[in-house]
Homo-oligomer: A and B are copies of this chain.
Amino acid sequence: MEIHSATILGSGNVAFHLGKALAQNGIRVDAVYSPNETHAISLAEQLNTQAFSKPDKLPLSSDIYIIAVKDTVIEQVSDQLADVAGLVVHTSGNTSMEVLSKHKRCGVFYPLQTISKQSALNFTHVPVLLETKQQDDMALLKQLTTALGATSYEVDSDKRKVVHVAAVFANNFSNHLYGIAQQILIENNLSFEMLKPLIRETANNIQHYNPNEVQTGPAVRGDQTTINTHLKLLKEMPGYAQLYTLLSQSIINTHKEK
């Protein structure tokens, strides 16, 4: 058994990038569904398939139904979907598989990657966290993941939530720190360009080294003089100063424990 055809429920970034990747890798996209007809039509055109804005009209013969909508409406969309023979999955990091329990064959296909409108998404080497109610379906999802060039990890709903919170630190919060660094430079008429190689290298380093082993900076050196200079420079930006203090303290605590 293999997955040859898919219906996509949703019209956001994940729906778009996943739909494109499926089509490019020989999996037929039977249909796209969105309650917003304009969005459905727009995505369907890009994927060269049919658009639906009513869930009861959707084709019943797809091998997989991928629900890629906001976490808060996954259950509702799942409940509106007819009893299909195919596998029904959602793509959320923070939502239990249980919300799909209406369907005998259900599961989760969570791509652990940052997916925004602006940036392209290549599924090659993207880790995909998989879960299925029926063990047979796990093999199917693993096949699908491999077909996209992605890497599969079998992770249950509870563990997936833990991964999601770790991803918030590694991705959302570091991106915000990049934004803060940019803001500090802009306010001093300095170019953010000069920080980009450092940001890239910092992320490259931990591909090979343990983050704690390559930690540098005033906090890990216990260099209170530099910390004080920095806090003085941040005195007009109290929010940043507060983050600076808390993050420095966290580094000190982490490295003290060793």
Contacts and interface: CB of A to CB of B under 8 A. Distances in A.
Interface of A: 71-72, 94, 112-116, 118-119, 125-127, 129, 151, 153, 155, 159, 161-182, 184-185, 188, 190-191, 193-220, 223, 225-226, 229-230, 233-234, 239-240, 242-244, 246-247, 250-251, 253-254
A176 B118 contact: no
Given A163-B190, A182-B210, A226 B71 contact: yes
28 contacts: A112-B197, A113-B197, A114-B202, A118-B205, A119-B208, A125-B197, A127-B195, A151-B194, A162-B190, A162-B233, A163-B194, A165-B184, A166-B195, A167-B195, A167-B198, A169-B180, A169-B184, A169-B244, A170-B195, A175-B206, A176-B251, A178-B203, A179-B215, A182-B211, A196-B207, A199-B203, A200-B203, A203-B203
Contacts of A240: 169
Given A194-B127, A209-B119, A185 B201 contact: no
Contact of A247 (B173, B198, B199, B205): B173
B215 A172 contact: yes
A175 B202 contact: yes
Nearest to A186: B166
Given A155-B190, A199-B206, A253 B239 contact: yes
B168 A230 contact: yes
Contacts of A210: 179, 182
Given A169-B181, A190-B162, A175 B207 contact: no
A115 B112 CA distance: 29
Give the most central of A126, A193, A197, A240: most B CB within 10 Å: A197
Nearest to A116: B214
